[in-house]
Amino acid sequence: MKQVLKRFIQVVSQLVIIMTILLVSAGSIKWIWAWIYFILCVLILIVNGFVLDPDLIAERGKKKENIKKFDRIITTVNIIPVISIILLSGLDKRFGWTGNTAMVYYLAGIILMILGNALFTWAMVANKYFSTSVRIQTDRDHKVAEGGPYTIVRHPGYTGYILFTFATPMILGSLWALIPAGITMALFVIRTILEDKTLQNELEGYREYAARVKYRLVPGIF
């Protein structure tokens, strides 16, 4: 229970920081799309609280051991584009760099955010070893996840995260923030390749699973 509470505090704190950066960089609290984004994030948090296994939530909240070096590097570097998405979106709102944005752009962002998070949550429900870090979870008797979205692609959580990443600047009405979103996507493609290689080399049964499920992120493409 302590680790579940810790994870909840982590996620809420991240959300508060994101909203603070958004509103300060925008120079106004009267930004309807920022608040819509915030409400969507809160709703997603509530849904996840009901559908996710408490053991998984606890694992995601605790300090990890034997994390792969490449993952530490990628996740650290990714902090820069993630913050840039939020900061640029706020500055874009303040200075009007993108200009007037069609309503369909915002609505497409909402749809993309819902789809991305639905896929991300589905992956967490289907995979009780869904960690925040790349590691072989010998402490939890790590097994290959093969159900749910894992029958379609090998890393559905990353696919969902990438969709959510692009949805963020769209909901916030910024074209410029799509640039750091693209950088995050590139970093997660690299992370996917390296993680997949790690799992094939170190997790029993994963190589056979990879032979059955051909694609890592997008069916028929990659």
Q: Three-state SS for 178? A: helix
pLDDT tens-digit map of 150-209: 999 999 999 999 999 999 999 999 999 999 999 999 999 999 999 999 999 999 999 999
CA Rg value for the chain: 18
CATH 3.40.50.300 fits 2-212, yes or no: no
Q: What is the pLDDT of residues 107-137, one digit of tens each?
A: 999 999 999 999 999 999 999 999 889 999 8
Rounded CA separation 169/159 (Å): 17
Q: How many angstroms separate the CA atoms of 75 and 45, rounded?
A: 21
- Residues 20 and 89: their CA atoms lie apart, in Å, by 12
Confidence band of 140 (pLDDT split at 50, 70, 90): confident
The SS3 assignment for 55 reads helix
Give the pLDDT band (50/70/90) at residue 46. very high
For the cut 80, the answer to whether the pLDDT of residue 92 exceeds it is yes
Q: What percent helix, strand, coil does the chain show, rounded to 5?
A: 70, 0, 30
Q: What is the pLDDT of residue 190?
A: 98
Residue ranges of domains in the chain: 2-212
pLDDT score of 2: 73
Average per-residue pLDDT for the chain: 94
What does the pLDDT read at residue 64? 77
pLDDT, greater one: 222 or 7: 222
Mean pLDDT of 44-50: 93
Please report, rounded to a whole number, the percentage of residues in the chain having pLDDT higher than 70. 100
Q: What pLDDT, on a 0 to 100 scale, did the predictor assign at position 206? A: 96
How far is the C-alpha of 134 from the C-alpha of 70, rounded, in Å?
A: 9
